[in-house]
A and B are shown apart, each in its own frame.
Chain A
Amino acid sequence: MDPSVLALYACCLLALAGGAGVVVLRNPVHAAISLLFTMLALGGAYAMLQAHLLAALQVLIYAGAIVILIVYVIMLLDQGREDVPHPFYELGAAIGVPVAVVLLFIAAPAFLGSSAGPEPLISGPEACTDCESAAVTMKNPDGSSRTTTGCEDFADTDGDGFTDCNDPDCHDNELCYGTVRAVGGSLLGPFVLPFEVASVLLLAGIAGSILLTGRRPKDLEDVLPAPQIAPAPVPELHEGGRGGDA
Chain B
Amino acid sequence: MPLEHLLLFSFLLFTMGVAGVALRKNLLVVLMSVELMLNAVNLAFVGVARLIGGHDAHVMVLMIYVVAAVEVAIGMAIVVNMFRQKDSISVDSFDAMRG
Contact = CB atoms under 8 A, between A and B. Distances in A.
A117 B70 contact: no
A183 interface: yes
A92 B2 contact: no
Given A62-B39, A87-B24, A31 B32 contact: yes
Nearest to B55: A186
Given A121-B6, A198-B63, A201-B70, A70 B28 contact: yes
A22 B29 contact: yes
Interface string A189-206: 011001000100110111
Given A92-B23, A111-B7, A121 B68 contact: no
Nearest to A34: B32
Summarize B's interface: helix, strand, loop or mixed.
helix
B77 A208 contact: yes
Contacts of A82: 24-26, 90
A28 B29 contact: yes
Interface in B5-42: 5-9, 11-13, 15-20, 22-26, 28-29, 31-33, 35-36, 39, 42
B97 interface: no
Q: Which 4 A-B pairs have the closest CB atoms?
A: A205-B70, A212-B77, A19-B16, A186-B55
Interface of A: 5, 8-9, 12-13, 15-16, 19-20, 22-23, 28, 31-32, 35, 38-39, 42, 45-46, 49-51, 53-54, 57-58, 61-62, 65-66, 69-70, 72-74, 76-77, 79, 82-84, 87-88, 90, 92-93, 96-97, 100, 103-104, 107-108, 111-112, 114-122, 172, 177-178, 182-183, 185-187, 190-191, 194, 198, 201-202, 204-206, 208-209, 212-213
